[in-house]
Amino acid sequence: MNILGKVRTSAILAVNEFFERYSEFPYEEDIVDAVFDTFVWTGLDKLNTEGVYSPTALTKLFIVWSKEPKYFPLLVKYPDQGPDSPSRGSDSPSRSSSERAFPIGGHGHCNGLVYR
């Protein structure tokens, strides 16, 4: 593993520890989006090859989220399709701010699920 890979692994393990220790922290949408943009979406493509023999740091993050009901919506989150996304039709309305994924622990929507 190169130095950049080691730094990335250390960073995601620190994020894991934060989610594990501070479940009462008021996670806001921008924080959650930053975690997904930095670690989750970029790591999913490699998960099927890197996690064959032992759990990756990303897999460990999923395990942390699976232990706390407050984090369950994170396990079903999917990438937002903004107005510039090629997969969004030109006649598709954009989601309102109340329909965007969430502050955890508040009221809102996550991928069509309503949680309280």
State the chain's mean pLDDT as an integer: 77
Q: Per-residue pLDDT for 5 more than 60?
A: yes
**C-beta of residue 109 within 8 angstroms of C-beta of residue 102:** yes
Which DSSP symbol is given to 101?
B
pLDDT, residue 113, reads 40
Amino acid in the structure at residue 74: L
Give the residue among 74, 65, 89 at the shortest CA–CA distance from 41: 74
Give the model confidence (pLDDT) of 57-96 as tens digits. 999 999 999 999 999 999 999 887 554 444 433 343 444 4
Threshold 0.75, pTM exceeds:
no
Angle at Cα 22 formed by Cα 100 and Cα 43, nearest 5°? 60
Q: Map tokens 């594990």 to a residue.
A: 20
